Structure 1
Amino acid sequence: KEVEQFRDQIKKDWVPFAEKMWENRRKRLGLDTLYHMDEGLSFPEGSPKPTGTPEEILKSGQKMYEELSPETREFFDFMMEGDLFDVFARPHKQVGGYMTYLPDYQAPFIFANFNGTAGDVDVVTHECGHAFQGYISGKDPIMEHSDITMETAETHSMSMEFFTNPWMEQFFGSRAGDFLKSQLEDAVVFIPYGSMVDEFQHIVYDHPEMTTAERKDIWKKLEKQYKPHLTYEEESSFYSEGGFWQRQHHIYSFPFYYIDYVIAQTNAFQYKIWMQKDYRAAWKSYLAFCEASASDFFTCMLKDAGLDSPFEPGIIRRIAAELEEIYNQMETDYL
């Protein structure tokens, strides 16, 4: 029921905000119509890419974490000295990226494949958010405290993406502003999509007797609620007829996990807003949240850290309003 109420808030108070971003992106790209295949492009000159080599990106990451805080400096030096990054691409290497924890060594480990895109920097921010939390809480003698829930874990990583914003010029040079703008836009427009995936899952898993056509029809109806701008290139195609959900493997592989990303992103947005007002106070709260790990219930840890539960009435409207002020300033700077 709480998640259902949460999704209702998204439809009412967040979708209009996200639609403004889609419209701004359409204008920026100079398009009469923003088709679904255009959604991944932020700027007419292309998406920002990091300027350095893979080795230089890691080095910039080390400098960034040295300056962010004493705790992150200790963490990143530990990772580098322990050779706990396997992030350079090589022939026959498995694809993907993740952070895992090696309890015998009390050490996080990060696996990825740098490919010259902004995703390389995401490894140094998002995955390092997971790894930093693992490093901070790994010394806790109560093993159960490390068994964190997914919405907690993703709060650590998504928030770190924002805490590292002041250093993005080291990675993107003159296009740092473009990266920050697209980062915020992508995070905002994800919220309706992630909520749509969750609602779709609840419906189809509650009704396994549904036919293929009925499932597609449900997806089409949800698209109109969560992404009303959405337009496909062809009026009659696999996607336009409600087949797009087949691309989301979580629906098959990890049922009901996807909403955790949405919940975590709203928490990260609270930190984004907080750090605009008082960066050090926001960081102190984030550090405490990382240290809490799984020592209490999720909503209790949010309250202790000074964050609002996304399930509370009116919270989504407030976050959207404050974020829109930040975004409007970024849009003005771009123009």
Structure 2
Amino acid sequence: MFSELSPETKEFIEYMVSNGNLDLISKTGKRGGAFATFIGTEKAPFIFANSVGIPNDIRVLAHEAGHAFQFYMNRNTQIPEYISPTSDATEIHSFTMERFVWPWMELFFEKDTDKYKYCHLTEAFILMPWANAIDEFQHYLYDHPSQTMDERKAKWREIERIYMPEKDYDGNEFLERGGSFYQISHLFETPFYFIDYDLAHNCAVQLWIRYNENREEGWNDFLNICRVGDSESLVEIINRARLQSPFDDGSLRYIIEYVDRWVEQFDDQKY
């Protein structure tokens, strides 16, 4: 898959395999989760995952490979802080790679390939209202530090009803009073990070659209932003990739209209 995607990813994956920088299979005693990191002493990326033979394993591998490939393209930088972008930009590379490997999904999903693509693409947009709700709630928390826990719960439930009116807690008192935000670890561990997923999805889908229309242009634009690492800001990276800024009015409409036309070719009742 990566060997055929481009000469750059071929070199990357051959390096990762030959140097043992992939730990992908779940096993007893192994910590959970998945991530890509950079080993400074080796000037090399490393991918850690817990594949168990489910469809999401492929998405996770492509996602972490997007991060790792971006590290690899910056491995020889003289400024360590420039190896990886800050959190507001770094997910662009991972979400884009998830979609750039779609031409090889038939190797894994065979007759269910269209189902995988449909679900994969639409999930990004299903996530957007939730991410926006979380971001608005975080602003409320930091703007009102003296609010009681009951007031915070009430505010979260109010925001939930705005962004996700379809939520039905079937009379569960704890959840109806706004207790569901306890499950969102980002609120406690990485404040204001969650909205970065929405910004990255916006950019990644734009790159996927360009890749569909002109594979060479799409790949070169992606490669260009991989090479700059953290030497440029989010806005500069967006401009370098020739993308419409997610902060501009109408940027989401353009994406939604394209995606809407794309999903119409599928019978979603089958999925």
Q: TM range, normalised to the smaller chain?
A: over 0.9
Query: Is the contact between residue 131 and residue 198 of structure 2 (CA under 8 Å) also seen in structure 1?
Result: yes
Q: Which sits farther off after the overlay, 311-320 or 282-291? A: 311-320
1:141 aligns with 2:78: yes
Please name the residue that 2:220 is paired with.
Answer: 284
Tell me by how many angstroms 1:260 deviates.
Answer: 1.1
Relative to structure 1, is the Cα distance of residues 332 and 112 closer, same or farther in structure 2, using a 3 angstrom cutoff?
closer
1:265 aligns with 2:215: no
Deviations for 1:115-170, whole angstroms, at most 9, x for unmatched residues? 22122112320000000000011122233322411121100000100101111111
Tell me by how many angstroms 1:253 deviates.
Answer: 0.8
Matches within 5 A, 1:137-286: 137-232=74-169, 234-286=170-222
TM-score, normalisation: structure 1:
0.77
For the residues of structure 1 that align with 2:230 and 2:79, how far apart are their CA atoms? 10
- SS of the equivalent of 2:46 reads strand
Query: Is the contact between residue 49 and residue 61 of structure 2 (CA under 8 Å) also seen in structure 1?
Result: no
Relative to structure 1, is the Cα distance of residues 229 and 333 closer, same or farther in structure 2, using a 3 angstrom cutoff?
closer
Tell me by how many angstroms 1:332 deviates.
Answer: 7.0
For the residues of structure 2 that align with 1:110 and 1:311, how far apart are their CA atoms? 32
Q: In percent, how many aligned pairs have the same letter?
A: 35
Q: Which residue identity lines up with residue 98 of structure 1 in the other structure?
A: F
RMSD value over aligned CA atoms?
A: 1.7
Q: Which sits farther off after the overlay, 220-229 or 162-171? A: 220-229
Deviations for 1:9-66, whole angstroms, at most 9, x for unmatched residues? xxxxxxxxxxxxxxxxxxxxxxxxxxxxxxxxxxxxxxxxxxxxxxxxxxxxxxx011
How many residue pairs get matched? 271
For the residues of structure 2 that align with 1:121 and 1:190, how far apart are their CA atoms? 19
Query: Is the contact between residue 156 and residue 181 of structure 2 (CA under 8 Å) also seen in structure 1?
Result: yes
For the residues of structure 2 that align with 1:118 and 1:330, how far apart are their CA atoms? 19
Matches within 5 A, 1:5-84: 64-84=1-21
For the residues of structure 1 that align with 2:268 and 2:159, how far apart are their CA atoms? 32
Please name the residue that 2:244 is paired with.
Answer: 308
Tell me by how many angstroms 1:245 deviates.
Answer: 0.9
1:99 aligns with 2:36: yes
Q: Which residue identity lines up with residue 243 of structure 1 in the other structure?
A: G
Query: Is the contact between residue 3 and residue 10 of structure 2 (CA under 8 Å) also seen in structure 1?
Result: yes
Deviations for 1:175-212, whole angstroms, at most 9, x for unmatched residues? 11111111012111111111111111110122122122
